[in-house]
Amino acid sequence: MAEEIVLAPNHSKSAAVSRETLQLKVAMQVMLTARRWKSWVAEKFRDAGHTGAPTLVLYYLVDQPKGLTLSELSSRMELSGASLTRLVQRLEKDGMVSRRRMVGDGRSWLIVMEPAGRAEMEAFEVHAAAMRQRVFEGVSEDDMAAALRVLDAVAAKLAVGPDAPARP
């Protein structure tokens, strides 16, 4: 089992830890947590009869009644067009999504969630909400909001600029 990072009670600034040390510990904890989260979610998805990547496509489409282009979806998911095309084809074959020609641009396709995809998401979200509830039990809303602010700031810096990794 990995060593937990403890700075001081409630991770207060009272512990004499340098900014560089704190940055390293946060980075290491993010990587470890991401790996654990991905494994845990994959296991729970399988237990509920789902696979992660296609379900993630549906999450991105659920609030997009007009759909998204493959390029928009690829950008949001940070997946290559070829990888995403395979996922969309699989979902289309299962009746979860459809591809529709974009009005005014015959070369582009909109990926639109179908009623079967929406029903699948509603059924899955019951399990997903319960999973999130268990994971975040005991974590305050303030702590979740602070964590989200930090992760958003780091993600934004990694998305663009000189330190951004190459995208697929």
Categorize the per-residue pLDDT at 6 as very low, low, confident or very high, splitting at 50, 70 and 90: low
Question: How does 116-145 read in b/e, with b if 16+ C-beta sit within 10 Å?
Answer: ebeebbeebeeebeebeeeeeeeeeeeeee
pLDDT at 101: 87
For residues 36-51, give the mean pLDDT: 76
- The residue ranges of DSSP E strands in the chain, in sequence order, are 68-69, 97-102, 105-113
pLDDT at 2: 45
pLDDT at 9 over 80: no
pLDDT at 3 over 60: no
For residues 151-161, give the mean pLDDT: 85
Cα separation of 111 and 113, whole Å? Answer: 7
pLDDT at 84 over 60: yes
pLDDT at 121: 86
pTM across the whole model: 0.69
pLDDT at 50: 66
pLDDT at 110 over 80: yes
